[in-house]
Amino acid sequence: MSLYREKLLPRLVDRACGSEGMERWRRRVTDGLSGTVVEIGFGSGLNMAAYPPEVTKVFRGRTCRSGSKAGRAANRALACRGGPRRIAR
């Protein structure tokens, strides 16, 4: 476990992919989704806020660990809106 891989890189990616301009693309890509979604590159969970309310479950890939920044971001996104009710591994 390196400091760069575990701490610095995730924050850099989150910052780069979390810009306001990217939100428009997230909404466009997730528009029309419903039911169960498989999120292959879950990353820091930025897509969670863009899922429509019709998405009821999200399966995430092994790109994040329990208690990680991604897991916390996903939980915040769920708490802020009526999105997916469950995130599964």
Higher-pLDDT residue of 87 and 19 is 19
CA distances, 20 to each of 16, 23, 25, 35, 46 (Å):
10, 5, 10, 26, 11
Is the separation of the CB atoms in 56 and 76 below 8 Å?
no
| Mean pLDDT lowest among 12-16, 29-33, 48-52, 72-76 | 72-76
| Mean pLDDT lowest among 24-38, 43-57, 65-79 | 65-79
Query: Taking the CA atoms of the chain, what radius of gyration do you get in angstroms?
Result: 13
What's the confidence (pLDDT) of residue 86?
Answer: 58
What's the confidence (pLDDT) of residue 64?
Answer: 47
